[in-house]
Structure 1
Amino acid sequence: MSVSGEDLPLIDPGAGAGKGDTLITDIRDDTSSSKTNVIRKKNYFTNSIKCFGVELSPDNIAVAMVYFVQGVLGLSRLAVNFYLKDDLHLDPAETAVISGFSALPWLVKPLYGFISDSVPLFGYRRRSYLVLSGLLGALSWSLMATFVDSKYSAAFCIMLGSLSVAFSDVVVDSMVVERARGESQSMSGSLQSLCWGSSAFGGIVSSYFSGSLVDSYGVRFVFGLTTFLPLVTSAVAVLVREQPVVSLGRGHMQNLPLVTTSFVESSKRSIIQLWGAVKQPNVLLPTLFIFLWQATPQSDSAMFYFTTNKLGFTPEFLGRVKLVTSVASLMGVGLYNGFLKKVPLRKIFLATTLSGSALGMTQVFLVTGLNRKFGISDEWFAIGDSLILTVLGQASFMPVLVLAARLCPEGMEATLFATLMSISNGGSVLGGLIGAGLTQIFGVTKDRFDNLTFLIVLCNLSSLLPLPLLGLLPKDEPDASDAKEGDDIEMKTQSERQPDR
């Protein structure tokens, strides 16, 4: 969860914004001064309201709202965890498997780009797919609030909701790139700051209410409330300025096979071009490292069961912990931008991996009760531990985005970046499944935690396994352009890009 502004599918340069932004089209050279005056008048009004240095035009409002929805959808994550644990009575291993299964839509993000670019829906490549994504998300959560009563139907609906977010994410990221083309580096960074800030604000809002709502009204109520959030994505689609695709005429239904053939051919060419870029050693080897770095096992599901069933943490308290981690993610990005963006990638991965593995061992204190011997309550220890680990985790994931951006060759940045982030997400899913297997092997269940300490130690030590492969990363020192690039990389919290395990 994974989960950035440059994480984009292949974009049709002839579609989307840019067409609708031109005020005057067929004007002779001798009327250029009049055109300039018209543009200045327009800018006078649009510049009056800005956020993060970005004009709040209808297009930009739509983009910001879609990102906000992606962040605020975190409202349901805590409810999902308690639903799987308390209502369906699943073990930690089963919960981890369902979480991994729900992340599958994030592994094929370039496919959504191919579809939206090549197959206009009702004459639009962006608007219509945003509407469809919102309706799909509303359907998934309405089913969770009413009919779902088994682990299989729950897994399907959660995956359907994940597909809704992943598809809208690709579409809105495409719009961001289209609007950033031709803009200055500063303006591009401001636009992405607006996007990321909207998502972060949504995450903080949802974290504040998620626990108390589950505690007061139950998980079904939270699922029903979540049903209305994706509809915001459908509603703001009307604000998107997009030129409709010219119809194929009255016989367009007869020409549907031509559209399908064009989609298949363009996808085939894109895949061939993509493979040609990925198989280059300077791209393939760092990508392999990213995958292996993300694929180390996790014990998150087991710890959730321990803190709720053994320590008695309530949904309201866990909501507060989630709020702290949401703010901590902002601190993690600030840590990277302020101190680490000029540090070579190899050193960052080495330092964050070693420190992360060591600090991850502090969970053993909570499991064994050692923290209470030092006069630290379980609640305060959990908050402090989550705060530190989230800051470090967020700062350590930023180099993944920077590295992925640096690997992309000119001409196919969007598609290759989306592919690299899908590979990263794939490693994260694999790590979750391996963690589920280890949880089963160690016999950790919803009420048995005898071997949880060994599981935590093994998972943390396994995070050190990719370190001998640091030589796969580029060793050149980051220059000034790389530092600027680090500023412009949008980092969404993993609760949005990589579903929580």
Structure 2
Amino acid sequence: MSIDLGNTRENFKSLQPDIVHLTSVVYFFQGCLGIVGIALPLFLRNMGFSVSKIAYFTSIMTVPWLFKIIYGSISDAYPIRGKRRKPYLLFYAVAASLGWLLLSCVPAKWWWLLLAALIAQLGFAGTDVVTDGIVVEHSDEKTTQIYQSIAWGARSVGALLTGVMGGYLAAHLPYRVIFAVMGCLPLIILIAVLNYQENVCKDLARRDGFLSSLVKSFKLLFTIRDLGLFCIILFISTLSGMFVVPLFFYLKETLGFSELFLGSLSSITWGGAIVGCFLYLKFLNHLPLKKALYLAFGIGVVSIISCLAIRSQLSSIMIYFMGGVLGYIGILPLMSTAAKLSHKTGVEGSLFAILMSVHNIGVSSSGILGGWLFKWVSIEQLILMSAAMTCAGFFVIARLKTVQ
């Protein structure tokens, strides 16, 4: 016991304070997007947009997250005045701030609002991937998990706090004022960036490596059978996103939940996710990956169908908490399988990033599909359709050969 404690203390001592500060601030403010989580869809609704059109909007605005590998690769390949990270972090932090500030003042027209939202999401996606690059550069076997724990913990704290806060603000402030408040928060990231001391790099020979890594990664996707199948699995796993926006407005407009309660549900979901993380690591981490994937899709279907039981505040609290628990238990096997399939390919980083982009494409596409279907079906039918389509994942998992 004392040896392990001593090793842990030594590992913490080896962390770089400016990296810890930067990582904590960036990921905390990613979690703080909950401040606008209630205000944005309600604002769009007040502007006269249909539920389907709001689903399109919130899905399309996540498009910048699909290209994270591009932002990271540009940062690697094209230093600015000899620095790969700091100038890009400054740019993306300003972009995130600018996007939300624009949302607070642009005309209430579809394209103006979407442009502002895309700029905001570009900023957050860029700060995410560049910060990841800094962590990778300055970590080793002893500190990697600690840095990742700091990042995930900071994001969780931000999401827990701002879920309830976002609901409260949506009930008491004009929506555009909330966007302006959100626009000020990324500016705090600038302080952490300015405190980060980056050395001038002398090795500029990464441009050819970037292109060759991308080419090899895409070749592997089309030549290795299990990688192609896993892309399908990742896409199917996101189909629960089909009914997220319609369910939000069902809770608000049909069940009459207040803004504060809707924000509280967001925080409750994140609380469940933290519990799910501990449960998985404690009891399920030993499962073979293929069985874990079956489990992930099984609990995913159960979690989707359980949404049919939401009829009151009490039932919604129970279902959202369990959704957070089950959702996190379900996502970990997918991430582990992605890491396993990327291992020893020679392009681990690029391939893993592409697989995560496939997942993000699924998230955006499912929201758009759900918004389109909601024009003709009820929320109950949409939930059942999502569950039925998610079941297709079982058949694809069965065809995996190298994942056992």
Q: Which runs of 5+ in 2 are unaligned?
A: 1-8
The one-letter code matched in structure 1 to 2:368 is L
* Closer/same/farther in 2, CA of residues 342 and 263 from structure 1, 3 Å limit: closer
Instruction: Give 1:198 deviation, angstroms.
Output: 1.1
Distance in 2 (CA, whole Å) between partners of 1:96 and 1:237 is 34
> Are positions 1:277 and 2:236 aligned together?
no
Larger radius of gyration: 1
Q: Which amino acid aligns with 1:139?
A: L
Say whether residues 1:422 and 2:357 are aligned partners.
yes
Matched ranges for 1:110-125 at <5 A: 110-125=69-84
The residue that corresponds to 1:188 in the other structure is 144
Cα distance change of structure 1 residues 472 and 118 upon mapping to structure 2, 3 Å threshold? same
CA gap 1:78/1:425 in 2 versus in 1, 3 angstroms: same
> Which amino acid in 1 is paired with 2:155?
S
Equivalent-residue separation in structure 1 for 2:77 and 2:403 (angstroms): 38
One-letter amino acid of the counterpart of residue 65, structure 1: V
Superposed counterparts of 1:130-279, under 5 Å: 130-181=89-140, 183-184=141-142, 187-245=143-201, 265-279=208-222
Q: What residue in structure 2 maps to residue 57 of structure 1?
A: 17
Partner of 1:398: 332
**Preserved CA contact (<8 Å) 1:131 1:235:** no
Normalized per residue, which structure has more helix?
A: 2
* AA matched with 1:351: L
Q: Distance in 2 between matches of 1:296 and 1:382?
A: 17
Matched with 2:304 is 360
1:436 aligns with 2:396: no
State the TM-score, normalizing by the size of structure 2: 0.91
Aligned-partner Cα distance in 2 for 1:272–1:49: 37
Aligned to 1:79: 39
Separation in structure 1 between the aligned mates of residue 168 and residue 199 of structure 2, nearest angstrom:
44
Mark the runs of 5 or more structure 1 residues left unpaired by the alignment.
1-46, 248-258, 370-377, 443-450, 478-501
Deviation, structure 1 residue 89: 1.9
TM-superposed deviation, 1:474: 4.9
User: Contact (CA 8 Å) 1:115, 1:263: kept in 2 or not?
Assistant: no
Cα distance in 2, alignment partners of residues 228 and 117 from structure 1: 28
2:280 pairs, out of 331, 336, 343, with: 336
* Whole-Å separation in 2 of the counterparts to 1:296 and 1:199: 22
Query: Which residue in 1 is equivalent to 2:318?
Result: 384
Q: Aligned pair 1:465/2:400, yes or no?
A: no
Q: What's 2:254 paired with?
A: 310
Deviation at 1:386, TM superposition (A): 0.7
Q: Cα RMSD over matched residues?
A: 2.4
Higher relative contact order (CA 8 A, sep 6+): 1
Secondary structure at 1:107's aligned position in 2? helix
Distance in 1 (alpha carbons) for counterparts of 2:198 and 2:128: 17
Q: Deviations over 1:412-471 (max 9, x none)?
A: 2221111110111112222112111211222xxxxxxxx332222222222112211112
1:279-298 correspondence runs (5 A): 279=222, 280-295=224-239, 298=242
- The CA deviation string for residues 37-58 of structure 1, in whole angstroms up to 9 with x for no partner, is xxxxxxxxxx7995xx774612
TM-score (norm 1): 0.74
Relative distance call for 1:126 and 1:379 in structure 2 (3 A) is same
Cα distance in 2 for partners of 1:359, 1:61 equals: 36
Write the distance in 2 (CA, Å) between the matches of 1:399 and 1:473. 14
Is contact 2:239–2:362 with CA below 8 Å preserved after alignment?
A: yes
